[in-house]
Amino acid sequence: MADETRSVVNEEDLNQLKERMKLIVSADPSQYHNDYSLRRYLRAFKTVNNAFQAIIKTNKWRVEYGVNELSENKEIIEKYSNKARVLRHRDIIGRPIIYIPAKNHSSSDRNIDELTKFIVYCLEDASKKCFEEVIDNLCIVFDLNGFTLSCMDYQVLKNLIWLLSRHYPERLGVCLVTNAPAFFSGCWTVIKQWLDENTASKVVFVNSEMDLCQYLIPDILPDDM
């Protein structure tokens, strides 16, 4: 099934962006972005110039942050392994799934820098699993079963939103929020203010297993976290 959520990118804009990219790729081949990546930046940043500048910033950030080396940091990966997992299975249209059991998080028991690195590691791992010819975005599942206010961490969410908007543009396909308690509506009121209209429209509150089945097979969600 093709990804029907992807908006059309002007081919002339894409060609212009590819021409501009040739200049930096010829100097440093590691700066290469394929057509799917360039299209995502154009959809997110609207103009060729804005997309090009955003790519330059992302490339610089990836080097300075050591993104390609994060998979070698076994200590952080193991320390935060109960916070999120990239699942072996996909959602019903083929998106890789990042599963986040919120009950395992405490804002008073984490190192924000380490946890942000773990988030980037998960985003990288999930992105690499995309079948880009068919669908190039992700499904993120926030499971709020057992969630309490001590689990609420606004700074971590701000970091995730920033990463998705600046360095993983248009990678989010859908964000499913399952088992949300009634009091979470107050948290959502705060969080929604940080999202642009497009991103907010991708957040779906799932209230039943039947609703969840529209997006994925419930049995694929882990019960060991």
How many domains, the chain? Answer: 2
Q: Which domain holds residue 119?
A: 75-220
The residue ranges of the chain whose pLDDT is under 50 are 1-4
- What is the per-residue pLDDT for 173? 98
CATH classification of the domain holding 182: 3.40.525.10
- What is the per-residue pLDDT for 1? 39
Judgement on whether residues 54 and 153 belong to the same structural domain of the protein:
no
Q: Is 180 among the domain residues?
A: yes
What is residue 98's three-state secondary structure? strand
- What is the per-residue pLDDT for 176? 98
- What is the per-residue pLDDT for 37? 97
- What is the per-residue pLDDT for 205? 98
- What is the per-residue pLDDT for 8? 79
What is residue 171's three-state secondary structure? coil
- What is the per-residue pLDDT for 28? 87
Q: How far, in Å, CA of 140 to CA of 46, rounded?
A: 24
- What is the per-residue pLDDT for 7? 66
